[in-house]
Structure 1
Amino acid sequence: MDKNITITQKYLERGHTQMEVDSVHSLIERKLKNIEIFLPSQYATLTKQARKKPSPYRVIQPDHTFFKDYGIKEYQVYDSIRPGRTSGDDCVVDLRVLKYNPDGTIQYKKHFNDDLTLLPRRPRNIITLANCVPLLFSSRVPILESKYLHLQQLKNVIPVDCHQFYDNLPFKKK
């Protein structure tokens, strides 16, 4: 809403699992074939290299500060995206398309060939979301100590210049 962008979200139907994004995934998978990956950042680099024309893919590498806690009710424009209200009415699993409009309204389709219908729910009046929603994580999410120790053992087969990444992983005891 803050950026005045319309987002259309499509859900797959059984038996119709091909989507436009499949070609993107296919290009990336071909680029990754027979490549050794030792660091998460290498995925970003190879993803950018997967396409040259018309331009390389734009890759955003999120860290813990990227994720916001939209589970807090005060920051939710809608309490539900279910089109129905009572038993037997349409449910979220019946939806195939959701269209989020810049004015805060949501439209939906139960079938791809249907016309968009306004979600029969009233949005809450929220002035801005992006700048005031609290972070979901205050620091990097720690892995279990056992996983950390297993990753340390794998350093025998990982190039030395990658060891620092594994040494700096936050971990917690059970």
Structure 2
Amino acid sequence: MITDIIVPRDYLIILQTARIRPSPYHVKMVKHDEFLKMNGSHFLSIRPGKKVGDPTVHYLRALQFRSDGKVNYKLSFLENSAWEALPQRFQVPNRPIAWIRMFPHALPIKERKFQDLQSMKHVMPVECHQFFDNLPHN
């Protein structure tokens, strides 16, 4: 089934309905203010194990960076697999991990692109026009 994609929400609907069994995908729309970056702190290693025979980075399937500075990992793609704390061997001295917003505001598109999108509104459903009218642009 081919579906027209006009606004970002259309991606959300397509991804949510892409699978029925074992259960539909859980999809979260992320906005610009939800992207965070570290304040300059870093880890020397993201290896989940410490000794020979323990898992290496090749076995990592997911990393979870928490707002409290802790990092968790999974070695399986299964949703019910448990998150485990990543051993933190090194952090920049006197600099605890802090998260800051990567984008303080939505990134504007160029005026030319904005005008091109406006010129295409006659082929789009009227319900979508407001989305394109409110795009930040230079």
**Cα shift readout 1:40-77 (whole Å, capped 9, x = no counterpart):** 1111111111111221100011001121123x423x22
TM-score by length of structure 2 reads 0.65
Give the % identical residues: 32
Q: Distance in 1 between matches of 2:59 and 2:34?
A: 24
1:66 to 23, 30, 34: 34
* Cα gap change, 1:125 to 1:103, in 2 (>3 Å): farther
Query: Does the C-alpha gap of structure 1 residues 152 and 97 become closer, same or farther in structure 2, counting only changes over 3 Å?
Result: same
SS in structure 2 at match of 1:55: coil
- Which of residues 123, 147, 164 is equivalent to 2:90? 123
RMSD: 2.8
> What TM-score results when the alignment is normalised by the length of structure 1?
0.52
How far does residue 104 in structure 1 lie from its aligned partner after superposition? 3.2
Q: Which residue of 2 aligns with 1:142?
A: 108
The 1:45/1:143 distance shift into structure 2, 3 A limit, reads same
2:137 is aligned to 171
Counterparts of 2:137 and 2:59 in 1: how far apart (Å)?
Answer: 38
Going by fraction, where is helix more abundant, 1 or 2? 1
Secondary structure of the 1:143 match is coil
> Could you say what secondary structure the match of 1:51 adopts?
coil
In the alignment, is residue 47 of structure 1 matched against residue 15 of structure 2?
yes
Deviation track 1:86-143 (CA, whole Å, cap 9, x = no partner) reads xxxxxxxxx98264652334xxxxxxxxxxxxxxxx52179975xx400001111111
Q: What is aligned with 1:152?
A: 118
> When the two structures are aligned, how many residues end up with a matched partner?
106
2:68 corresponds to 1:97: no
Q: Judge conservation of contact 1:104–1:123 (CA < 8 Å) in 2.
A: no
Unpaired stretches in structure 2, ≥5 consecutive residues: 47-55, 64-72, 74-84
Partner amino acid for 1:97?
A: H
In the alignment, the residues of structure 1 paired with residue 106 and residue 59 of structure 2 have an alpha-carbon distance, to the nearest angstrom, of 32
